[in-house]
Amino acid sequence: MQGTDRTVMMHFPNSQQASSLKIIQEPTSQIRAFYFKKSLLAQVEELEYANNYAIYFLFSDLENPSVYIGQSTQGIKRLRDHLREKDFWQYGILFVTDNNSFDKLAIDFLEHQFIQLFKRSSFIVENRDLRNTKPTINWFAHATMNTFTNQITFLLEALGVSIQEEEKENDRKLFPAEGEREASLYIHDGQFYLTKGSILHRPQERLKNWNDQGKLYHKLNARIDQLIDVKQAEIIDEGTVRLLQDVVCSSPSAAADLCSGTSKNGWTFWKGLEEEGKNFGRLNY
């Protein structure tokens, strides 16, 4: 699958140590990454924003690479403990935001997310706690967290750390939408994903008069607007948008509501999912 062009800015705080200490950031993003060799940890502490809320990765570059994923409310300062307690790593990558927009919930979610991603990669994960329980975040925060995850994944890739799984689109079991709708859904790791290219419909006007005082109407509009804002969807016309990437949904019904513009039973809206749902105990109905 062909990717899209992206640009990064790279800064070298000390040009004589360019391969050992560098800062990388996309021009339009608040997320910046500090790459540093273990011996230069003290120098990173002096850099702007390095002590903001952070998620970080400590890597070995031995024959069998390993990684430790952690979070910090004090940025790079938290890593002092790892100099004493952990000796496996040779270099680290720290991610913060310029405006310190990461909060405790964000770094908790990102720590969990990347532990799960690295568990499926060629890296050995050094964490004792593998964070098998996903942190609870509200419905509207999912798009933001997914954007953070995608941006950090890209910057890791730009720094030579690949955690991308092999492309398995051909192996996915897709569940097409009812009727002639241009949308499909698949299940991965127990989560429901709307596929890239799926067409979403603005909520029908009649939803404003429902007994919920229009809550579903406003909820669907807000979700679609959010997807557009974070560039996960593009506007086709006044009533429809198209997904630019796969998007996770809280349930098959939440996905069906977005694609239909009204309330739907997702287990019957997606062809073939009713039978598949028996394997999931009809969760998130």
197 and 131 in a common domain: no
Q: What is the pLDDT of residue 3?
A: 57
Domain boundary (158, 190, 215) is at: 158
Residues in contact with 22: Cβ distance below 8 Å, sequence separation at least 6, in sequence order? 10, 11, 12, 13, 34, 35
What average pLDDT score do residues 247-275 get?
A: 92
Let me know if residue 2 belongs to a domain: no
pLDDT at 169 over 60: no
Q: What is the pLDDT of residue 166?
A: 44
Length of the chain: 285
Start-to-end CA span in the chain (Å): 33
132 and 71 in a common domain: yes
pLDDT at 282 over 70: no
118 and 33 in a common domain: yes
68 and 16 in a common domain: yes
Residue found by looking up tokens 């994960």 in the block: 125
Domain boundary (137, 158, 179) is at: 158
205 and 135 in a common domain: no
Q: pLDDT tier at 171 (50, 70, 90 boundaries)?
A: low
153-163 pLDDT tens trace: 999 999 999 88
Q: What is the pLDDT of residue 194?
A: 93
107-121 pLDDT tens trace: 999 999 999 999 878
For 193, the domain range is 169-280
**What DSSP assignment string belongs to 42-103?**
HHHHTSTTTTSSEEEEEE--SSS-EEEEEEESSGGGGGHHHHHH--S-SEEEEEEETT----
Q: Contact 193/243 with Cβ under 8 angstroms?
A: no
Enumerate the H helices of the chain as residue ranges. 41-45, 80-85, 104-119, 141-158, 215-229, 252-260, 266-269, 273-277
200 and 141 in a common domain: no
pLDDT at 67 over 50: yes
Q: Strand 184-188's sheet: what is its strand order? A: 175-176, 184-188, 191-194, 247-249
Determine if the pTM surpasses 0.75.
no
Q: What is the pLDDT of residue 165?
A: 58
Domain boundary (105, 138, 158) is at: 158
17 and 136 in a common domain: yes
Let me know if residue 3 belongs to a domain: no
Q: pLDDT tier at 1 (50, 70, 90 boundaries)?
A: very low
What average pLDDT score do residues 75-103 get?
A: 89
231 and 115 in a common domain: no
Could you give the number of structural domains in the chain?
2
Q: What is the pLDDT of residue 232?
A: 85
154 and 175 in a common domain: no
Let me know if residue 207 belongs to a domain: yes
Q: What is the pLDDT of residue 284?
A: 42
236 and 148 in a common domain: no
Position with higher pLDDT, 235 vs 166 = 235
141 and 14 in a common domain: yes
Q: pLDDT tier at 279 (50, 70, 90 boundaries)?
A: low
Q: What is the pLDDT of residue 283?
A: 45
244 and 270 in a common domain: yes
